[in-house]
Amino acid sequence: MNALSQIGTADWFPLFNSLRIAALASVIVFFLGIGCARLVARLPKAVKGLLDVILTLPMVLPPTVCGYFLLMVVGIRRPLGALLDQAGIRFVMTWYGGVLAAVIVSFPLMYRTARGAFEAFDETLAYSGQTLGLSDIYIFWRIRMPACRQGILAGFVLAFARALGEYGATSMLVGYTPGKTATISTTVYQLYRTGDDAGALRWVLVNLAISAVVLLAVNLLEVKQKKAVVR
């Protein structure tokens, strides 16, 4: 019960940091995933297969391996990392490095579910929109996206949840600095490792609460959509 009594006085930075990383990463992944899904769905089969493998790779690789690759690219002693560093952008040991890690790791979830939804879309709807004279932008946002919204929404939620729980790549790239890069998952590990079991439990409970809220929101959305269809 010690865990609960401390809540009022606790340092809430890891919660704030986790939420901002997950929110920013999932918004980026939302557009990036949809864009790539749209692109790949239109490509010829041979190119499609290859690109699909590359884009899905972060999903099957251990997150620490993703983190390793990220360090190889944006580490400050690497060409790109050095270049970015001169421009004042540093991904190593910063909170937006956490965003980068979360984007890479959660991207395949958004991309794959969105691609599945786009491939199931009845293309005659787009054709009939074209013959009526509707613009491509209108057809995409008002016809294609609404028809695919279930898959896209599911992808978004999965990506958000994955970004929120990201640990491996994040710990490789940005480590654990209290008040700077600490997220819920790195905090849980750090507190447990240093023997602060009560502190670790506190963050476990916070994480459980967030996950419950996310799942509840998804279920509510699904119920609402079913009603919209029945009505």
Q: Which residues bind other proteins (CB under 8 A)?
A: 122, 124-125, 127-135, 138, 142-143, 146-147, 229, 231
Closest separation in Å from C-beta 147 to other proteins: 6
C-beta closer to other proteins: residue 31 or 127: 127
Closest separation in Å from C-beta 170 to other proteins: 38
Closest separation in Å from C-beta 125 to other proteins: 5
Closest separation in Å from C-beta 20 to other proteins: 33
C-beta closer to other proteins: residue 1 or 137: 137
C-beta closer to other proteins: residue 87 or 229: 229
Closest separation in Å from C-beta 133 to other proteins: 5
C-beta closer to other proteins: residue 135 or 219: 135
The three-state DSSP-derived secondary structure of the chain is: CHHHHCHHHCCCHHHHHHHHHHHHHHHHHHHHHHHHHHHHHHCCHHHHHHHHHHHHHHHHCCHHHHHHHHHHHHCCCCHHHHHHHHCCCCCCCCHHHHHHHHHHHHHHHHHHHHHHHHHHCCHHHHHHHHHHCCCHHHHHHHHHHHHCHHHHHHHHHHHHHHHHHCCHHHHHHCCCCCCCCCCHHHHHHHHHHCCCHHHHHHHHHHHHHHHHHHHHHHHHHHHHHHHHHHC
C-beta closer to other proteins: residue 135 or 211: 135
